[in-house]
Amino acid sequence: MPSFDVCIVNGAYRIGGVGDQVAQLAAEYYASLGLRTKTLFLRDIPLAFCTNCRACMVSSQPLGCVIKDDFQVVLQDLEEARAYVFISPTNMGDVTALFKRLLERMAVFGYWPWGALAPKYRKVPLSKKAVVVSSCAAPSLLGRLLFRTLGTLKKSARLLGARTTAKTMLGLCANTPLFTLPPAQKEALKTSFKTLL
C-alpha cells in the first residue's frame, strides 16, 4: 500500500511565497479528507541538469536515469502517488527553472529510440489525475492567454500518466512583496483540488 496518496510538487523559489501557500493549502485540504500527502520542494532537492544523453529513452523497458543524484528518490515518489498537484509561478512566461529541470529529467517516462521521428509516452492510458497551479503578476485571464506555464505543468502530468482535471492561474500576485492568497483565490483552489477526488 502506498505511504501517501497525493504528491504535491512545488517549483517555487520563494519561501513563504504563493507557491508555498498553495502547497500548504493543498496539504491541509487533502488531510482534512483523510488523504495522505507528500510535498516536494524542488528548491531543496539537489537535481543535476539533464545531459540529453537519451539513455533513459532508448530501451523499450524503462531504465531510469544514469545520473546519480536525488532524482531516484523523486522518481520513486512520483511513481508511488496516485494523484498530483503541480505548482510553479510564472517566470519569463513559463515554469521556473527548478520545475523545468525536473521536467527534463522526467524524460525517463518517454520512449524515443534513435532513428524514431518522435517520442512516445510510456504511461498509457491515463490512470492518474493531476491539478496544475500557477501564479503571475498579470491578471489571471491574461496569464492563461499569454503564458505557457499551465501547459508545461500539464505536460508534466501527462508524462506521469495523469489526466489534468483542473488548471488554476492565480493573477495579480506581485502587488506586494509578501503577497497573501485572498479568500476568493483559496476557495478557487479548493474547487480545483476537489477534482482529484
- Residue 114 is assigned to a structural domain of this protein: yes
Question: Each residue of 11-56: pLDDT tens digit?
Answer: 999 999 999 999 999 999 999 999 999 999 999 999 999 999 999 9
- Residue 86 is assigned to a structural domain of this protein: yes
The total of structural domains in the chain comes to 1
pTM: 0.95
Determine whether 6 is exposed, middle or buried from the number of CB atoms within 10 Å of its CB (0-12, 13-18, 19+): buried
- Residue 184 is assigned to a structural domain of this protein: yes
- Residue 30 is assigned to a structural domain of this protein: yes
Cα gap 144→141, rounded to integer Å: 5
- Residue 1 is assigned to a structural domain of this protein: no
Reading the block at residue 125, the C-alpha cell is 492510458
Question: Each residue of 120-155: pLDDT tens digit?
Answer: 999 999 999 999 999 999 999 999 999 999 999 999
Chain center to CA of 63: 22
- Residue 12 is assigned to a structural domain of this protein: yes
- Residue 70 is assigned to a structural domain of this protein: yes
The CATH number linked to 88 is: 3.40.50.360
Range of the domain at 178: 6-194
